[in-house]
């Protein structure tokens, strides 16, 4: 597995991709790495980030993107990640959901926004990815 997915056992990948086409299997890890790289080191509570088409293209509708974005901004804020700007995102695991989508367990890391806390703050989060119509989409959680 590539460095991005080095925490995911190859047997686990075989298991979660067993019912998906080869194209889905080959594209999820590189595509998710691109997606999370695009949201790393960016201020999330800013209009420029929200309006960036390179992030928006991972969602089937503007409404689904807006839901994901709002939930992520809120979660980063509650995790006390300074400026809502994660500096690193690591994939911890992948599992199959009952609906057939894949759930990526992630750790978002960034400077701590609380006073006198010189260590990084972290956010553990699960994002849902769905293979549909020959491509992967990020599915927003319930807001």
In this prediction, the residues of the chain whose per-residue pLDDT falls under 70 are: 1-2, 142-143
The 8-class DSSP code of residue 83 comes to G
Q: State the pLDDT at residue 142.
A: 61
Q: State the pLDDT at residue 33.
A: 94
Instruction: Retrieve residue 126's tokens.
Output: 């699960």
Q: State the pLDDT at residue 143.
A: 47
Long-range contacts of 56-65 (CB under 8 A, 24+ apart): 58/136, 58/137, 58/138, 59/137, 59/138, 59/140, 60/132, 60/137, 64/137, 64/138, 64/139, 64/140, 65/140
The values of phi and psi at residue 33, to 5°, are -65, -40
């Amino acid at each position: 597995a590539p460095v991005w997915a080095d925490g995911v056992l190859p047997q686990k990948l075989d298991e979660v991709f067993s019912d998906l086409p080869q194209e889905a299997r080959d594209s999820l890890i590189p595509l998710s790495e691109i997606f999370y790289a695009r949201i790393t080191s960016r201020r999330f509570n800013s209009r420029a980030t929200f309006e960036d088409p390179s992030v928006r293209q991972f969602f089937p509708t503007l409404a689904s993107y807006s839901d994901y974005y709002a939930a992520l901004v809120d979660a980063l804020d509650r995790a006390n990640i300074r400026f809502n700007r994660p500096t690193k995102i690591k994939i911890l695991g992948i599992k199959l959901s009952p609906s057939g989508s894949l759930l990526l367990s992630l750790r978002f890391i960034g400077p701590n926004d609380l006073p006198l806390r010189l260590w990084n703050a972290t956010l553990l989060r699960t994002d849902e990815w769905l293979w549909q119509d020959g491509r992967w989409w990020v599915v927003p959680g319930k807001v």
